[in-house]
């Protein structure tokens, strides 16, 4: 007896919807997107890790200086570089400075004192009579603070000897231009500055430009 074969299903090529469809999704784009996300996360992690490493390394070298431990030549170069990166100040002849000089820069803080008179020039030249005619008397924390922020400092503090600096009379660029621009940037950055903000900025100015003052500030001889 002949067994009839079951007719095979014929798929018409004219009706492509019956054919297996290839995926039209572009997975390459998704992998690229995932890769970019990981790359960005890696960059953020690297930046944070690098910053922490820089801070830690600086504080390690700073502690050695504060403990009167001499730095090797390479460590001193590294410290000077880190000091610039963190403080934004390039110390003149930093690599040649001794341990006590470096310690002075690390520990120095600008301060104000008290005086009983408004004639700040008389106050300054009473202390440094030999500088009369050689320097102009400059306020570390400038006088305009008394008018713009009258609650932060007293007139006695602003005109005190601790807040006065001598700048060579011939150095007009420093006195009238460079320091003016520095203070302008300070006011732009600090819309509501505090007393501590002013003292920190005066410290920054002293460290950055103080070796051009007379007497030098901070004193690191």
Q: Where are the domains of the chain?
A: 37-107, 120-212
- Cβ neighbors of 183 (< 8 A, separation 6 or more) are 142, 201
- Cβ neighbors of 164 (< 8 A, separation 6 or more) are 120, 123, 124, 137, 138, 139, 140
Least confident of 11-20, 26-35, 60-69, 151-160: 11-20
State yes or no: pLDDT of 81 exceeds 90: yes
More confident site: 198 or 27: 198
Nearest Cα neighbor of 143 from 160, 123, 127 is 160
Report pLDDT for 74: 94
Q: How is residue 16 annotated by DSSP? A: G
Q: Look up the pTM and report it.
A: 0.74
- Bridge partners (DSSP) of residue 155 are none
pLDDT in tens, 131-186: 999 999 999 999 999 999 999 999 999 999 999 999 999 999 998 999 999 999 99
Residue 49's pLDDT band (cuts 50, 70, 90): very low
């Amino acid at each position: 007896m002949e067994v009839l074969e079951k007719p095979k299903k014929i798929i018409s090529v004219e009706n492509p919807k019956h054919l297996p469809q290839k995926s039209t999704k572009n997975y390459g784009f998704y992998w690229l997107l995932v890769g970019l996300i990981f790359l960005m996360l890696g960059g953020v992690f690297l930046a944070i890790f690098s910053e922490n490493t820089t801070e830690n390394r600086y504080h390690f070298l700073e502690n050695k200086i504060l403990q009167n431990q001499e730095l090797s030549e390479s460590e001193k170069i590294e410290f000077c570089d880190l000091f610039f990166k963190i403080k934004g100040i390039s110390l003149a002849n930093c690599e040649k400075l001794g341990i006590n000089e470096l310690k002075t820069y690390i520990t120095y803080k600008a301060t104000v004192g008290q005086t009983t008179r408004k004639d700040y020039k008389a106050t300054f030249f009473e202390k440094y009579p030999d500088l009369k005619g050689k320097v102009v008397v400059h306020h570390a924390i400038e006088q305009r603070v008394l008018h713009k922020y009258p609650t932060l400092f007293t007139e006695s503090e602003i005109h005190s000897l601790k807040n006065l600096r001598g700048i060579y009379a011939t150095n007009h660029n420093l006195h009238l231009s460079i320091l003016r621009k520095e203070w302008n940037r300070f006011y732009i950055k600090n819309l509501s500055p505090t007393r501590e903000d002013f003292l920190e900025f005066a410290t920054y100015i002293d460290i950055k430009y103080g070796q051009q003052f007379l007497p030098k500030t901070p004193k690191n001889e």
